[in-house]
Amino acid sequence: MINPVLVEVTRGGIVESCHRASYAVSKADGELIASAGDITMPVFPRSAVKALQALAFVESGAAARFGFNNAEIALACASHNGEPAHIAAARSMLAKAGISEKSYECGPHWPTRHEATRDLAILGAEPGPVHNNCSGKHAGMLALGKHLDVDLKGYTRPDHPVQQTIANVIAEMCDADMTSAPCGIDGCSVPTWALPLGAWASGFARFASGQGMSDERRAAANRIVAAVRAHPFMVAGTDRFCTDLMTAVPGAFVKTGAEGVFCAAVPHAGLGIALKCDDGASRGAETLMARLLVDLAVFGDEDCAILERFACVPVFNRADIQTGELRAVQGAVPSVLREGG
């Protein structure tokens, strides 16, 4: 199946490049509201499902036991820039749980944000694992391990109790058999399981609505949503799509993942969204997500006007001259097969 073109890049009044993609929009009971392309092929969600991974440690009681605040819980859902606030929060999480930075197994890299890298270099310092864009997620996983009273070494292995706890949460949220799902290693060394987009969408719909969840899990999901709404900066950072969109439209919960994957929850509508750009382009995934949030008609006119700015973005060259635009296809939802709603 050839996926449809859902994002275009223009120059000189014509389409210069395009991005083919697939997506699923679901209710919590698994009812498909809208879709495009092949949504049956297993997709590695990468960092787009950090909220479901964080759900495991918040639900377990680890977040409460170690006194994690909302900014720190938001960081557990983050692919952050490595800016000072991000690093401080990650270190605070480890300190509260009594865990050394040496326990990190995510590996180091320079901060994603250029200014943060520059400032670190000026100090003559080298980046550590705490600068990894996933260090907040790993701090949450380490805290879960400490709470479970298990050996923290190897917490990134698929068979470790930390990852098994997370896999069980994902299985229940997405109504999936994780034992038969393809399992790979993510960029930060933790396991990543591949499921169809429809499963990821329904999982985020349950996360958004609380439907079919225990009281403890519903409370944990609500805590995560509230934390991210209060601290969208912690989820990404300066000049990042996730932070900018959630700051502008607090009713949306969105999270990017590598290789053109994106997941979202719309709590007030009880909907979940999962998409993937075939070519792995983040720019395509971002603009398509914004278009879907508009076309699903779950936000008011004011919010939709803001979202339109994320769904059609001017492209400038280095002399600050507009050369074209990056735009998601208008009417993406009405133009595709609709089932159910």
- Report the amino acid identity of residue 205: A
**Which H or E run contains 322?**
strand 322-328
Largest CA distance in the chain: 61
CA distances from 27 to 94, 204, 273 (A): 36, 9, 9
Q: Distances in Å between the alpha carbon of 234 and those of 19, 82, 253?
A: 29, 10, 13
Within-domain flag for 238:
yes
User: How far apart, in whole angstroms, are the C-alpha atoms of residue 251 and residue 268?
Assistant: 7
Q: For residue 71, give both structure tokens.
A: 């900014």
* Whole-number Å distance between alpha carbons of 181 and 159: 14
Assigned domain for 340 exists = no
Judge whether 107 lies within some domain: yes
Number of domains in the chain: 1
Residue 334's pLDDT is what?
56
Sign of dihedral through CA atoms 10, 11, 16, 19? negative
Radius of gyration for the chain, computed over Cα atoms and rounded to the nearest angstrom: 19
The one-letter amino acid at 17: S
How deeply is 159 buried, as exposed, middle or buried, from its count of CB atoms within 10 A (0-12, 13-18, 19+)? exposed
**pLDDT at position 331:** 74
Among 128, 125, 149, CA closest to 138: 128
Tokens of 1: 């199946």
Q: Which residues of the chain have pLDDT under 50?
A: 335-341
In a domain, 127, yes or no: yes
Q: How many residues does the chain have?
A: 341
Query: Does residue 339 lie in a domain region?
Result: no
Q: Does residue 245 sit within a domain?
A: yes
pLDDT of residue 335: 43
Rounded to an integer, what distance in angstroms lies between the CA atom of residue 59 and that of residue 223? 10
Instruction: Kindly report the CATH number assigned to the domain that includes residue 195.
Output: 3.40.710
Closest by alpha carbon to 255, among 136, 154, 139? 136
Give the range of the structural domain holding residue 307, as residue numbers without chain letter. 5-328
Letter for the amino acid at 134? C
The answer to whether residue 335 sits within a structural domain is: no
For 107-135, letters b (16+ CB in 10 Å) and e give eebbbbbeebbeebeeeeeebbbbbbbbb
